[in-house]
Amino acid sequence: MATASRLGDYLRARRERVRPADVGLPEGGRRRVPGLRREEVALLAGISVEYYLRLEQGRDQHPSHQVLAGIARALRLSTDEERYLTALAAAPPASRRRSARPERVSPEVRTLIDNWTTTPALVHGRYMTTLAANAMAVALSPFFAPGVNTLRAAFLEPAMRDFYRDWDAMTAKAVAYLRSIIGATDDPRLAELIGGLSLRSDRFRTLWGRQDVRQKTSGVTLLQHPQVGPLDLHYEKLALPSAPGQMLITYHAEPGSPSYERLQLLAHLTTQRGSGEATSEPAHIGTAPHMATGPHAASARHSATPSDGDAAPHAPAGAAPTAADAPSRR
């Protein structure tokens, strides 16, 4: 999609989300569209109506930082949303990216997470496909296994609605996070992933159309584990500086809480099962990438590191929610 169109789509979507009362304007008479009128945004931003119309229609692609700041104030954008707006306006004309090399997790990171025997941990690639996961992550959910695209699983796997007690909130955060990290990139694999989810999931299509942007990297997620019961877990997403695009995600429970005890029980059960092989190695997902979200597929093993670029088109942690503050026990 052209950069100009993206900018216009974003401005329209955000304009429709702001009520006149939110910015101190009278509601007035009948309104043909929800939210603010174009002339109201222009007035609040301190620019002409004609110029704002050109921006929404994509006829002007290079607004100044001053104009963007005025529009951001008028539309009540958050810091993440204003950063996204600036990226859309500053991006050069869209160009196709060359095929990316398969992503690989370093041996040091694999050893690190495998040694966390009571802390679920996994590594996401550019498209939210799991590149590595420890035994506790897979015990927490088979959809966290290497090779599985957690965003695709979150929207298309019915079991995930039962697993996430906060499924509605989690999916909203996941899509807003995805938009925050992709910026104005024009990636064919990403476009195919988003297009596929939009076709197959009404929920994803609605959330993507809202144009929400939020780079939330920590918080609490509410889970329902089939063996140990309800878990209220803190998550943290940590960028790996040595591997651009990769995120280390961990989960932990508040010490002394019922969730903490249940997580320790899960760790005990995982150890008892004696899965001596390191689960951070990629799973064999079947004969085609589109099979990479099922729990049965995730339990098999594969000898090569999964290519995030290959898995993404058919598969974005989590998009399931992901990661936790540095846990007290590992």
CA-to-CA dists, residue 99 to 187, 190, 275, 308, 310, angstroms: 9, 12, 36, 11, 10
Using CB atoms within 10 Å of the CB of residue 53, give its burial: 0 to 12 exposed, 13 to 18 middle, 19+ buried: middle
Sequence-ordered list of residues with C-beta below 8 angstroms from that of 109, at least 6 positions apart, any chain? 123, 132, 240, 243, 248
pLDDT in tens, 140-149: 999 999 999 9
Contact 72, 82 (CB under 8 A): yes
The two three-digit tokens of residue 253, written as one number: 């429970």
Over 50: is that where the pLDDT of 328 sits? Answer: no
CA-to-CA dists, residue 97 to 4, 91, 141, 192, angstroms: 18, 14, 33, 13
Using CB atoms within 10 Å of the CB of residue 51, give its burial: 0 to 12 exposed, 13 to 18 middle, 19+ buried: middle
Contact 102, 189 (CB under 8 A): no
Least confidently predicted of 102-111, 206-215, 251-260, 294-303: 294-303
Q: What confidence score (pLDDT) does residue 25 get?
A: 80
Over 50: is that where the pLDDT of 8 sits? Answer: yes
**Cα–Cα distance measured from residue 204 to residue 154, given in angstroms and rounded to the nearest whole number:** 10
User: String of b and e for 179-202 (b: at least 16 CB within 10 Å)?
Assistant: bbbbebebbebbeebbebbbeebe
Check residues 86 and 277 and name the one with the higher pLDDT.
86
pLDDT in tens, 149-165: 999 999 999 999 999 99
With 0.85 as the threshold, say if the pTM is over it.
Answer: no
Check residues 303 and 27 and name the one with the higher pLDDT.
27
Single out the residue of 191, 150, 157 nearest to residue 174, CA to CA.
Answer: 150
Sequence-ordered strand ranges (E) for 121-228: 121-124, 130-133, 218-225
Check residues 30 and 311 and name the one with the higher pLDDT.
30
Q: How many Cα neighbours within 13 Å face the side chain of 296?
A: 2
Check residues 256 and 82 and name the one with the higher pLDDT.
256
